Amino acid sequence: MISFSGGLSVVVLYALANISAFFLYAIDKKRAGTAAWRISERMLLFAALIGPFGAYGAMRLFRHKMQKIKFWLVPLFLILHCAGMLYIAARVFHVIS
């Protein structure tokens, strides 16, 4: 069982990861219109793996990287995170043992 303060810090870190992923995608989209240095696709995918809610939200909001096949992984990461959160919630609330 995770203590409340430990659980709260995990939630805060997870939120920060998603916010960071969102801003990485937003920055890359802004730079795509100029000749500025871009964020690598590997970095964007890693950010999506850690923070898929922010990455997917930015992809949809900014219409960024929607056509590239490798970025179809982002919704998969989102589904995996949702499944993991449901599993953890079920364990915490003793729905499953």
Between 69 and 3, the more confident residue is 69
Report how far residue 2's alpha carbon sits from residue 10's, in angstroms, rounded to the nearest whole number. 10
* Domain-wise residue ranges, the chain: 4-92
Query: Model's pTM, two decimal places?
Result: 0.87
Q: How many residues does the chain have?
A: 97
Report CA 88 to chain centroid distance, whole Å.
18
42-65 pLDDT per residue, tens:
999 999 999 999 999 999 999 988
Report how far residue 53's alpha carbon sits from residue 25's, in angstroms, rounded to the nearest whole number. 12
25-41 pLDDT per residue, tens:
999 999 998 988 999 99
Lookup: tokens for 68: 């590239």
Lookup: tokens for 78: 């989102």
Report how far residue 45's alpha carbon sits from residue 54's, in angstroms, rounded to the nearest whole number. 12
Report how far residue 70's alpha carbon sits from residue 74's, in angstroms, rounded to the nearest whole number. 8
